[in-house]
Amino acid sequence: MSPLRVTRTLPEDATDAALRADVLNGLTATPKTLPPKWFYDARGSELFEEITELPEYYPTRAEREILLARSGEIAVASGARTLVELGSGSSEKTRLLIDALTSLQVYVPVDVSESALTQAGQALIEERPALSVHALIADFTGRMSLPETPGPRLLAFLGGTIGNLLPAERARFLASVRSLLAPGDALLLGTDLVKDEDVLVRAYDDAAGVTAEFNKNVLAVVDRELGADFDLDAFAHVALWDDEHEWIEMRLRSLTDQTVKIPALDLAVEFADGEELCTEISAKFREEGVRGELAEAGFELTQWWTDEAGRFALSLSTAG
């Protein structure tokens, strides 16, 4: 059995420094913002797993449907001997790809969470003793390098997470991904598709209130890590469809005039009654737009698959 290899490219204190910078910059901006990556502490990750099981939240089921149907085709088209997964988390869906990739020698999961990487990596090694797992503790939105592994490589970015990036951020991200790959390597990209507004809003504002709790969890993270005094009950969860930009916005609306103190930053933040703090955008896509953005970054989209209902897409592109 191959041992699990773990490489850290983030400094030990990188998470704390990044949180401080994001909170300071975001809460002193107009309008106020907080990045969605701060949802995902242990409680936030549990809540997101609950969200994926909700009847209103279709993306996880739709993507899994495509992977079940198309992993064999993805394996043949890519011929991958190395699979790299960005934001791998528990690597649960990835097992469908790993099982199909008959030439696979190395799996490289990339995540900021060392505990998630270690747990998932050990489980994979126990299940598949011949597979080499080289986990990478890294922030894939920043500068990153990959370990030396056999090609061709297949880099997977699943779950529609690319929709959390603004257009300029997506362009930089896709260009950085292309720089990691050699000609003939491939990118497997998950994208949520434009659809009926009611379906989209319900996916981000479920009847059980799980997404509302998930959204407010970002305030709990700031309270715990930076000693802030956010009162979660003083904010309401809001999910809106922006038709012009074709994205969902998640916000937290202040229910009163209030001042929030953040001692670790020596900061006091004023919220007006009704003022909204943006916590996430989730862009939705059309095939021609995805094809164009990939081409700009140096990829050629060669395969486009959707679930039966046409809600979600996986695309396979080759690095030119």
Residue 261, both tokens: 């103190």
What superfamily would CATH give domain 57-193+286-319?
Vaccinia Virus protein VP39 (3.40.50.150)
Q: Which residues contact 115 (CB under 8 A, 6 or more apart)?
A: none
Neighbours of 120 (CB within 10 A): 25
Query: φ and ψ at 32, to 5 degrees?
Result: -75, 145
* Pairwise CA distance, residues 135 & 118, whole Å: 8
Q: What is the largest distance, in Å, between two alpha-carbon atoms of the chain?
A: 60
Question: What string of DSSP letters covers 25-68?
Answer: HHHTSSS-B--GGGG-SHHHHHHHHHHHHSTT--HHHHHHHHHH
Dihedral of alpha carbons 291, 294, 295, 299, sign: negative
Q: Are 135 and 161 a contacting pair, CB within 8 Å?
A: no
Q: Which residues contact 2 (CB under 8 A, 6 or more apart)?
A: 125, 129, 130, 131, 132, 133
Q: At what angle do helices 210-226 and 42-53 cross, to 10 degrees?
A: 170
Dihedral of alpha carbons 210, 211, 213, 214, sign: positive
Q: Name which of 212, 236, 215 is nearest 38 in CA terms.
A: 215
Residue 1 pLDDT: 64
Q: Which long-range contacts (CB under 8 A, 24 or more apart) does 251-254 make?
A: 251/276, 251/277, 251/278, 251/279, 252/215, 252/216, 252/218, 252/219, 252/276, 252/277, 252/279, 253/277
Q: Are 171 and 294 a contacting pair, CB within 8 Å?
A: no
Q: Which long-range contacts (CB under 8 A, 24 or more apart) does 27-31 make?
A: 27/262, 27/267, 27/269, 27/277, 28/267, 28/269, 31/276, 31/277, 31/278
User: Domain residues of the chain, as ranges?
Assistant: 14-39+197-283, 57-193+286-319
Neighbours of 126 (CB within 10 A): 10
Residue 188, both tokens: 């497997």
| Residue stretches of the chain with pLDDT short of 70 | 1, 89-91
* Pairwise CA distance, residues 120 & 10, whole Å: 19
Residue 144 pLDDT: 84
Q: Are 97 and 66 a contacting pair, CB within 8 Å?
A: no
* Alpha-carbon separation of residue 174 from 135, 157, 162, 296, 298 (angstroms): 21, 11, 9, 9, 9
Q: Which amino acid would we find at residue 249?
A: E
